Amino acid sequence: MDENRLDSFEEVAVRACDAAGEYLAAEFRTESLAAEHGPDDVKAVADRAAERRVLDVLTDAYPDHAVYAEESGRRSGAADYRWVVDPLDGTNNFCSGIPYFGTAVALLRDDVPILAAVRDPLHDRTYVAKRDGGATVNGEPIRAESDVASDHATVAFVLGLDAVRDEALRSAGDALNAEIAGRCKRVWTSWAPALDWGLLARGKIEAVVCFHPDEVEQHAGWLLAGESGARLASEDDLYLAAASDETFETLETVL
């Protein structure tokens, strides 16, 4: 792909994430967090408002691109490109006053992710990954590298909403979580996977394991992990990314 075109996509993606992030940070500080609480999910007014801000930027720049956004669903387009948007990753955290949430945007060409942007507004971090172009945070290159031994590792575990809502999958996810816990020091379940991918890409945690993850953040996170040099493995709807060979080999047996 033409590098100039990919740079243009990056500029738009970052601007879209910034628009949502600025709004979310301001709303979070007001503590006016209206939401609908279901048995297994939370939908905040901020989800929809943040999504509007993202889509305003994306559709203004690329009106012929398809979009899949968490709140509004799918919109077809004439081009070979599709944007996948999670406007508020970590809604539960946001509504509970936990300062760990963000916005994730991925661009796919012919269903292959080519660009990812993740905004962590409260910590002023913007992660970007470009296929075959590496990964950065706030413009500085990052690498998923860690010398922490696997038995002292922190591993983020992501259970997608489909698995939460299916009794058999939820049981399998619980068993997987227990398997991981037996191989490392700490299993971290944050409710904001996009930010977990950012921690891995910076070498701050040792691995991310996803079981039936949600599409809206998985595309961005997987590309960010790969372009930051993480060791990757996947099988069906189970994904492993690790920041060292040792941790990867230790956890690969759970796949």
Clarify whether residues 225 and 114 are in a common domain: no
- How many other C-beta atoms are found inside a 10 Å radius of the C-beta of residue 109? 17
pLDDT score, position 35: 53
Letter for the amino acid at 103? Answer: T
Query: How many folded domains does the chain comprise?
Result: 2
Q: Which of 141, 167, 188 is the last residue of a domain?
A: 141
Question: In the chain, what are the helix, strand and coil shares in percent, each to the nearest 5?
Answer: 40, 30, 30
What span, in angstroms and rounded, lies between the C-alpha atoms of 142 and 205? 13
Within this chain, do residues 22 and 125 fall inside the same structural domain, yes or no? yes
Do 132 and 202 lie in a common domain?
no
Question: Do 24 and 128 have their domain in common?
Answer: yes
- Residues 117/220, Cβ–Cβ less than 8 Å: yes
CA pair distance 108, 203, nearest whole angstrom: 26
Helices within 2-134 (DSSP H only):
3-30, 45-61, 91-96
* Domain finish residue from 141, 173, 197: 141
* CA 252 to chain CA centroid, nearest Å: 21
Clarify whether residues 123 and 230 are in a common domain: no
Quick one: 102 and 32 in the same domain? yes
Q: For residue range 126-135, what is the model confidence (pLDDT) as tens digits?
A: 999 999 999 9
| pLDDT tens by residue, 215-244 | 999 999 999 999 999 999 999 999 999 999
Q: Are residues 195 and 216 in the same domain?
A: yes
pTM of the model as a whole: 0.93
- For position 2, what pLDDT does the model report? 67
Domain containing 89: what range?
3-141
Q: What is the CATH number of the domain that holds 53?
A: 3.30.540.10
Mark whether 132 and 165 lie in a shared domain: no
Q: 233 φ, ψ to 5°?
A: -150, 145
Cα torsion 122, 124, 130, 134 to 10°: value is -120
